[in-house]
Every structure is written in structure tokens, then in C-alpha cells.
Amino acid sequence: MRSLITGGAGFIGSHLAEALVARGEQVIVLDDLSTGRYDNVAPLLERGDVEFALGSILNADLVDDLVRRADRVFHLAAAVGVQLIVEQPLESLATNLRGSENVLEKAHKYDTPTLVTSTSEIYGKNTSDVLGEDDDRILGSPLKTRWSYSEAKAIEEVLAHTYWRQKGLRTVVTRLFNTVGPRQTGHYGMVIPRFVNQALRDEPLTVYGDGTQTRCFTHVADVVRALVDLAEHPDAPGTVFNVGSQDETSIAALAEQVIELSDSNSTVRYVPYDEAYEEGFEDMARRVPDTTRLEKLTGFAPTIDLDGIIRSVVADQRS
């Protein structure tokens, strides 16, 4: 079995590559190293189990060659994180739209099953108690750059799903909710690596807004297990799956927990949204996934709680 992982040198992609190699499988990593890091996969490359292709998913010839040689595709490459998208909106749109179209087109050409990673961002402003896969998106204005990530990933989902419906390509769409773990960088806004970084320097932890907004965090090892199980399940194609935990925590409580678990002398600084993000930024008050569909099909249950998640990031940043 040989898997192509687009974005395989990134945070989640490199953990996925490791998991597949641990099962004795072969992996081709495609990454342009824009946000991914060579170091994330260097130990795997030394062992010869993984082939590394430096390049973009926008390069149709390269994607063609790699998909042709793969038995399945995990499409993870994307411009991720609202902060990055706000800073580089055109480049992000190109990657997430045209790049994904390239990958799906080649997957169709070679009839290669493909798992696509989407995001809880596509639910937009829907803050229902729990978000089910069939729930509606509640859309922000397309004129606000902040929502362009949500728009692009939703179109990617539509493309993947349409290749299934119209052409019979075996595509699985996954929506990831706040995945966290070692190697994740805080450069593009992700809150836990940022808080841990601040805590380890005894700097104030910057809580945006009043800190009452909540999120459910899932360790990358649990997410990777779900992705592999879904890629292998014969009933998964043609379906969308939320992937995440339902363990909800406020960002203010998270900050306190990070300070405690990293033995830090940091304080908490509340930063008004206008200072933290572009003007008019709308944060989501909560985002809780309904994961019944994933649980029923694969038996999924997260194994690492928030304490364990924070500890793993602290250990990673200390090393």
C-alpha cells in the first residue's frame, strides 16, 4: 500500500506519515514547505520508508505523476489558519481551490480513493450546541477576508463530493475540529501552541475577547487514527465526517490550565478582538462536533484528554 499525503510535511500530515510507516506502508509526501517543515519528516526519510517530493499542489504535472504512483491519497495540503488567510488571501485561495481541484482531477484520472481534510470553519457562524454533518452553514459576508477560508474549504468539499456523485470517485470528506499536538506551530494563530510558547517564556497569555468562547481540542494522534480508519472503511466514501472531541473548554480556562501545566509565572492578558485581528473580525463563540457518525462507523473515541494534549505540546516545545 502506497499513500500520497499532500501536505505531508505539515503538522497533521507528518503524524499521519509516521502512523502509516509504523504499519509497514509506503508513503509519498508532497509539500511545498510553505508552512510544513522538512524537519517534520526528516527522520522518516532517513529510514527510507518515505519519499519526499518538494512542490505545490498547484503543479499539475507533479501531482499527476505522484497520484499515478499512489494507491490512495490523503489530501491535507492547504493554506490553514484564519490568520494566514487574512495575511495572504489570494495565495491561500489559489492553493485551497485550484490546488484541491488538481488533486481531485488526478485522483479521478487514475481512480484513486481520496480522503479530503476540511474544517469546522465551514459551519461558519452556526453555533448550535452540537454541529452535525448535515447542519447548515451560516454564512458570513464574502467580503470579509476572514470567511474566505471557510468559502474555499466548502467548495473543496463540494468538489470532492461531486466527484463521488457524478463520477463515482471514492472520496471521503473529513471536517477537523481544533486538532492539537507536537509540531504544531503557533505562527498562524493556533491557540494552544501560542499559549504554551508564551507560558514557557513567562510572558502574558493573550486571550482574545473575554475568553468565554469555547473550543473542543483533539490530540493529533486521535485524529490520525480516525483519518486512517475512514480511508480504509468501505462505507466511508461519499460521506462527510466530523472528527473531533466533545470536551468543551473556554479559552480563559484553557489559559489557566496551560499556565498550571507548564509551571509558568505568566499572567493572562485579555486582548480586544480589534487589536488581535483585522477590523470587523468575527470569532466563533463555540464549536462542538457531533461525532456520532464517526463513532458508529469506526468506534472512534478520543484517548487523550486536554491535560494530555497540553502536556504533549509543553514537552514538544521544551525539547
Chain residues that interact with ligand UDP, rule: CB under 6 A: 82, 178, 189-191, 194, 206-208, 213, 215, 251, 283, 287
What is the Cα–Cα distance from 193 to 190, expressed in whole angstroms? Answer: 6
Q: Confirm whether 149 is a catalytic residue.
A: yes
Query: Phi/psi of residue 117, each to 5°?
Result: -100, 115
**Minimum distance of ligand UDP from residue 315's CB (angstroms):** 19
Q: For residues 9 and 34, is the Cβ–Cβ distance under 8 A? A: no
**Minimum distance of ligand UDP from residue 45's CB (angstroms):** 29
Q: Which of 38, 110, 123, 149 is catalytic?
A: 149
Query: Phi/psi of residue 180, each to 5°?
Result: -140, 155
Between 82 and 310, whose beta carbon lies closer to ligand UDP? 82
Of 203, 86, 106, 236, the closest CA to residue 163 belongs to: 106
**Minimum distance of ligand UDP from residue 312's CB (angstroms):** 16
**Minimum distance of ligand UDP from residue 64's CB (angstroms):** 32
Helix-, strand-, coil-residue percentages of the chain, each rounded to 5: 45, 20, 35
Between 231 and 309, whose beta carbon lies closer to ligand UDP? 309
Between 6 and 214, whose beta carbon lies closer to ligand UDP? 214
Between 27 and 306, whose beta carbon lies closer to ligand UDP? 306
**Minimum distance of ligand UDP from residue 313's CB (angstroms):** 12
- What would the grid cell of residue 112 be? 484513486
**Residue located via cell numbers 474566505:** 148
Find the radius of gyration of the CA atoms of the chain. Answer: 19
E strands of the chain, at which residues? 2-6, 26-31, 50-54, 72-75, 114-119, 171-176, 179-180, 205-208, 214-216, 218-219, 240-243, 248-250, 268-271
Q: Where are the alpha helices (DSSP H) in 148-286?
A: 148-167, 191-200, 220-232, 251-261, 273-276
Between 61 and 305, whose beta carbon lies closer to ligand UDP? 305
Neighbouring C-beta atoms of residue 20, cutoff 10 Å? 26
Between 104 and 207, whose beta carbon lies closer to ligand UDP? 207
Query: Phi/psi of residue 73, each to 5°?
Result: -125, 135
**Minimum distance of ligand UDP from residue 193's CB (angstroms):** 9
Q: For residues 196 and 262, is the Cβ–Cβ distance under 8 A? A: yes
Write out the catalytic residue numbers.
Answer: 149
